Chain A
Amino acid sequence: MEPKLGLPPERIARARKLAEQIVSPVQRFIDAHTTVTVERATLRLAGVDGADADGVPVPNLVVDQLKDRLEEGALKYYVNALVRTGEDVQGLNRRIAEGFRVDNLPMGDPEALEARAKQLVGAFAARVKGNRSHREAKLAKYHDRNHKPLLYVIVATGNIHEDVKQAKAAAEQGADVVAVIRTTAQSLLDYVPYGATTEGFGGTYATQENFRIMRAALDEVVDKQQRYIYLTNYASGLCMPEIAAMGALERLDMMLNDSMYGILFRDINMYRTFVDQKFSRMINAFAGVIINTGEDNYLTTSDAVEKAYTVLASQFLNERFATIAGLAPWQMGLGHAFEMDPTIPNGFLRELAQAQMAREIFPEAPLKYMPPTKFMTGDIFRGHVQDALFNFVSQMTGQGIHLLGMLTEAIHTPFMQDRFLALENAKYVMNNMADLGEEIAFKPGGRIVQRAHQVLEETVQFLESIEAVGLMDAIEQGLFADIKRPRDMGKGLDGLRPKAAGYWNPFEQYLTRELGL
Chain B
Amino acid sequence: MTHIVRPYGDTLNDGAVQLSFTLPVPVGPRGREAARLFMEKLGFRHAEIVHAQALSEGFSFYVAYGRTEVSVDYDEIHIEEATGEKVYSMNEACEAIREKLGRKVVIVGACTGFDAHTVGIDAIMNMKGYNHHYGLERYQEVEAHNLGAQVPNEKLIDYALKVGADAILVSQIVTQKDVHVQNMTEFIELLQARGLRERFIVCAGGSRISNKLAVELGFDAGFGQGTYAEHVATFIIDRLAERQGRA
User: Which residues in A have some Cβ–Cβ distance to B below 8 Å?
Assistant: 158, 168-169, 172-173, 184-185, 187-188, 201-202, 265-267, 300-303, 341, 343, 373-375, 377-378, 410-411, 413, 415-417, 420, 483
Q: Please, how many angstroms separate the alpha-carbon atoms of A416 and B21 in the complex?
A: 10
B128 engages A168 (CB within 8 Å): no
- Given contacts A173-B55, A416-B59, whether A184 and B122 have CB atoms under 8 Å apart is no
B176 engages A301 (CB within 8 Å): no
Stretch at the interface among B31-39, B40-48, B75-83, B110-118: B110-118
Beyond known contacts A184-B114, A420-B53: 4 more, CB 8 A cutoff? A184-B174, A301-B118, A343-B131, A411-B207
Question: What distance in Å separates the Cβ of B26 from its nearest Cβ neighbour in chain A?
Answer: 12
A185 engages B56 (CB within 8 Å): no
Q: Please, how many angstroms separate the alpha-carbon atoms of A202 and B150 in the complex?
A: 14
Residues of chain B within 8 A of A303, CB atoms compared: 128
Q: Please, how many angstroms separate the alpha-carbon atoms of A483 and B147 in the complex?
A: 10
Residues of chain A within 8 A of B61, CB atoms compared: 416-417, 420
> What are 7 A-B interface contacts by the 8 Å CB criterion?
A184-B114, A201-B114, A202-B174, A267-B150, A300-B119, A301-B118, A302-B128
Closest to B115 in A: A184
Residues of chain B within 8 A of A410, CB atoms compared: 207
- Given contacts A158-B177, A341-B131, whether A301 and B55 have CB atoms under 8 Å apart is no
- Given contacts A184-B116, A416-B22, whether A172 and B207 have CB atoms under 8 Å apart is no
Q: Please, how many angstroms separate the alpha-carbon atoms of A184 and B122 in the complex?
A: 19
Closest to B180 in A: A201
The majority secondary structure among interface residues of chain A is loop
Residues of chain A within 8 A of B148, CB atoms compared: 267, 483
B91 within 8 A of A: no
- Residue picked from B21, B22, B56, B177, most chain A C-beta under 10 Å: B56
Within 8 A of A (CB), among B193-207: 207
Question: What distance in Å separates the Cβ of B17 from its nearest Cβ neighbour in chain A?
Answer: 15
Question: What distance in Å separates the Cβ of A378 from its nearest Cβ neighbour in chain B?
Answer: 6
A173 engages B56 (CB within 8 Å): yes
B56 engages A266 (CB within 8 Å): no
Closest to B174 in A: A202
Within 8 A of A (CB), among B142-200: 148-150, 174, 176-177, 179
Closest to A423 in B: B55
Question: What distance in Å separates the Cβ of A81 from its nearest Cβ neighbour in chain B?
Answer: 36
- Given contacts A169-B55, A201-B176, A411-B207, whether A417 and B22 have CB atoms under 8 Å apart is yes
Q: Please, how many angstroms separate the alpha-carbon atoms of A377 and B226 in the complex?
A: 9
Residues of chain A within 8 A of B174, CB atoms compared: 184, 201-202
B55 engages A420 (CB within 8 Å): yes
Q: Please, how many angstroms separate the alpha-carbon atoms of A185 and B179 in the complex?
A: 12
- Given contacts A201-B177, A202-B176, A416-B55, whether A266 and B116 have CB atoms under 8 Å apart is yes
Question: What distance in Å separates the Cβ of A24 from its nearest Cβ neighbour in chain B?
Answer: 30
B20 within 8 A of A: yes
B57 within 8 A of A: yes
Residues of chain B within 8 A of A168, CB atoms compared: 56
Q: Please, how many angstroms separate the alpha-carbon atoms of A303 and B126 in the complex?
A: 11
Q: Please, how many angstroms separate the alpha-carbon atoms of A417 and B61 in the complex?
A: 6
Q: Please, how many angstroms separate the alpha-carbon atoms of A410 and B115 in the complex?
A: 14
- Given contacts A168-B56, A378-B225, whether A300 and B118 have CB atoms under 8 Å apart is yes
Q: Which 6 A-B pairs have the closest CB atoms?
A: A169-B56, A185-B114, A172-B56, A417-B22, A417-B61, A201-B179
Closest to B149 in A: A265
Q: Please, how many angstroms separate the alpha-carbon atoms of A301 and B135 in the complex?
A: 13
Q: Please, how many angstroms separate the alpha-carbon atoms of A158 and B119 in the complex?
A: 22
Residues of chain B within 8 A of A202, CB atoms compared: 174, 176
Question: What distance in Å separates the Cβ of B116 from its nearest Cβ neighbour in chain A?
Answer: 5
Residues of chain B within 8 A of A374, CB atoms compared: 119
Residues of chain B within 8 A of A416, CB atoms compared: 22, 55-56, 59, 61
